[in-house]
Amino acid sequence: MPSRRDLANAIRALSMDAVQKAKSGHPGAPMGMADIAQVLWTDFLNHNPTNPEWANRDRFVLSNGHGSMLIYSLLHLSGYALPIEELAQFRQLHSKTPGHPEYGYTAGVETTTGPLGQGICNAVGMAIAEKTLAAQFNKPGHEIVDHYTYSFLGDGCLMEGVSHEACSLAGTLGLGKLVAFWDDNGISIDGEVEGWFTDDTPARFEAYGWHVIADVDGHDADAIAAAIAQAKAVTDKPTMICCKTIIGFGSPNKSGSHDCHGAPLGDEEIAAAREFLNWPHAPFEIPADVYAGWDAKEAGSSKEQEWNAKFDAYAAAFPAEAAEYKRRIAGDLPADFSAKADAFIQECQDKAENVASRKASQNSIEAFASILPEVIGGSADLAGSNLTLWSGAKGLTAEDASGNYIFYGVREFGMTAIMNGIGLHGGFRPYGATFLMFMEYARNALRMSALMGIPNIQVYTHDSIGQGEDGPTHQPIEQVANLRLTPNMDTWRPCDAAETATAWKFALERKDGPSSLVFSRQGLPAQARDAAQVKAIARGGYILKDTAGTPDVIIIATGSEVGISVEAAEQLATQGIAARVVSMPCTSVFDKQDADYKESVLPSSITKRVAVEAAHVDYWYKYVGFNGAIVGMSTFGESAPGGALLKHFGITADAVVEAAKGL
C-alpha cells in the first residue's frame, strides 16, 4: 500500500506537470497543501464521486482558487468524471480544467473561486444553508441534513476585507460545521508577506468567536488528522485550523519562495523535484496502487446508500416533510405558484395604489414568501429602509437557525458572497438588500452570481437622485447601467406595484441567473393597464400608453420616470404630437423577445425616440440611436429634497415634452 506521502505526492506531481505543460499556473499552493488535502479527502470527507450532486455530501471549497490544480488532482484521483486527459489540457480552451475552478465546468467543483476571499464567504453561506435546512427538516432520530463545509484559504483570502465580513458573521451564527484551513506559508506573489501582512490571524478569528487550532504542521499527517478530529468535536463554533506549510513543498530549489507561487517550475526543477519526492514516474503517470489508495467511488456510494436508507425512514415517518425537502433541493417551485403569483399581480393592478416601489416590493415579499418556505431574506443593516422584513420573517441566531431571515449587518459584499454560497448549496432562494448605491461594495460577488448562473435575488432601493437629502454619496447614477451591462443579470426597475410583483415573480421563477430588483424611495403613481398589458409586463418592455394612429414619437421609460412620461405624452397630445409610451422595466428580458414582438413595440420606422430615466444617459443610445433624445443624468447629484433635485436636474414631464418637441 502506498504511504500517505505517496498519495500526497501524486497531487504534487500532477500539479507541477499540468502547470508546466500549460506554461501557466500556480504550482506552489497545491504542492504545499497536498498533505492537508490527502488527510481531509481520504479520512474525513463524505462525498460520492459517482454522484457529485448527492444532497448530504460534505462541501469542499478551494478559496485560494489560483491553486486549482489541487482540486483537479483531488477530483481525478478520487474517481470523479475528470480523466487524466483533461488534466493534461489544463488552462486550454474548452477543457474541464480552466485556470481557476469554475462551477458548472467540472463535476465536484462546488463554486467558482479565484477572486480571493469570496470562496470562504461562499463556504460560510453553505454552512448557513446546512444549519438552517437541518433546523427546518431534521426530526429526533432522523437527521437527514448532517454534513460539513470545508474550505482551504491562503493569505490573500485573509487580506481581502470580504473575508472579515463573512467570518465575523460566521462566528456570531455559531456555524459549528464549518472548518477552514489556513495555508500559512508566508508567501504571496510579491514575496514574503511579513512586509505587508503581520496580523495575528489566530487572535483575529478567536475574536470572531471561532474555535482556533494554531500551529499545526501542514506536512504532518497525524497532526492534521488530530486537528480535524478536534474541529469536528466543537459543535457550537466554526473552526480555523492554522497550518504551517512550505509553498512548493518538494521543489528542492524553489520551495518556500514566491518563485513557485505563480509560474511553472521548469523542466530541470521538476526533474529535481521528482528525485526529491522519490517519484520516478513520467508526467501524468499515476501508479495503480496510488489510484487504489485514492479511489473513493465505492466508499462514497456506500455512504450515499446509507443516507438513502435514513431518508426512506424519514419519509415513512414524515412524508409531507420528505416531499417538501425533495422539492426544495430540486429547486422546483410549488405547482400552483405561477397561478397564485398571477392572481397577486392582478390584485396589485386592481388596487391601483400609489406607493413607493420599495413598499410594493415588501408587499410582494409578503405574498410570495408566505407560500415559498425556501425564500430566505436579509438586508445589510437597512431592513427598515429596504423594507425586506415581512410578517413571517424570523431571524437566524446561533441558538435557533430555523428561521428565514439573516440580519447581515453592514456587510454588503459579505452578504452577497454568502448568498452565493446559500444558493449553491440548494434548498433556498436567497434575497438580500441594500441601497442601490452600495451595490458597488458587492460588485464582484454580483458578477460571480451572474457568472455561475445562481438565481439569487438582489433588492436595491433608493434608486435615483429622488433619494434626496443624503446627497451624491447615496444617489446612484451609473449603477443601473452597470447592472444591465453584466452578462446574465436581469435588472428590473418597475414603475408601480403591478410591475414590481411581476419582477418578483419572474425572479423567483428564473433558474439560470440572478435578478436585481431596483426600487424607489418615493411614492409612484399606479398605471392603468388592460389584461393584455398586465401580461406583457413579463416581456420586459411593452406599450403602456398608445395613440390612435401611428405615433410621431416613442417615449421609453423605466421606474419612477414612467409616470412623468405618461404626463408628457398627455401634454404632447394637446399640442398635436402623438406619443407612444413604452415602459421597459427589464431591458435584458425585452432584448430576448422575438423580433416581431420587439418591432411591434419599437417599430424601426419610428426613429423619433426619447428615453427617460434618472440614471446615466449613455446606456439608452442602443434604443434611441444617436439622433434620439435622452432625459437623464450625466453628473452626480446634490443634497436636497428629492422633488427639488428632480426639478433641478430636469427629470420632469416638461423636460420630456421639450425633448420630444426638439426631435
The angle at the Cα of 648, spanning 644 to 652, to the nearest 5 degrees, equals 85
Work out the widest C-alpha separation in the chain, in whole angstroms.
Answer: 91
CA-wise closest residue to 247 among 447, 559, 461, 30: 30
Q: Enumerate residues 6+ apart whose C-beta is below 8 A from 320.
A: none
The DSSP letter of residue 316 is: H
Q: Enumerate residues 6+ apart whose C-beta is below 8 A from 416.
A: 432, 442, 445, 446, 449, 456, 458
Strand ranges inside 263-409, DSSP E? 355-356, 375-379, 405-407
Calpha distance 558→484 (Å, rounded): 13
Task: Quote the cell numbers at residue 606.
Answer: 419610428
CA-wise closest residue to 106 among 90, 117, 118: 90
Report the DSSP pairing between strands 191-192 and 187-188.
antiparallel
Calpha distance 596→598 (Å, rounded): 6
Q: Which helix (H) or strand (E) holds 188?
A: strand 187-188
DSSP lists the bridge partners of residue 516 as 458, 491
**CA 262, 264, 268, 271 torsion: positive or negative?**
positive
Task: Quote the cell numbers at residue 575.
Answer: 399640442
Calpha distance 292→584 (Å, rounded): 59
Task: Quote the cell numbers at residue 286.
Answer: 499515476
End-to-end CA distance of the chain: 82
**CA 618, 624, 626, 630 torsion: positive or negative?**
negative
Give me the amino acid identity at 30: P
Calpha distance 209→121 (Å, rounded): 16
Report the DSSP pairing between strands 542-545 and 579-583.
antiparallel
DSSP lists the bridge partners of residue 557 as 583, 612
Calpha distance 260→264 (Å, rounded): 7
Torsion-angle region of residue 646: left (phi > 0), alpha (psi -120 to 50) or beta? alpha
DSSP lists the bridge partners of residue 629 as 610
Report the DSSP pairing between strands 457-461 and 490-492.
unpaired
Alpha helices in 88-220 (DSSP H): 118-137, 155-159, 161-172, 201-208
Whether 110 is a known active-site residue: answer: no
Among residues 412, 499, 561, 613, the one annotated as catalytic is 412
CA-wise closest residue to 345 among 510, 163, 529: 529
CA-wise closest residue to 120 among 190, 168, 191, 185: 168
Q: Enumerate residues 6+ apart whose C-beta is below 8 A from 296.
A: 41, 42, 45, 47, 48, 49, 78, 79
Q: How many residues does the chain have?
A: 663
Residues with catalytic annotation? 412
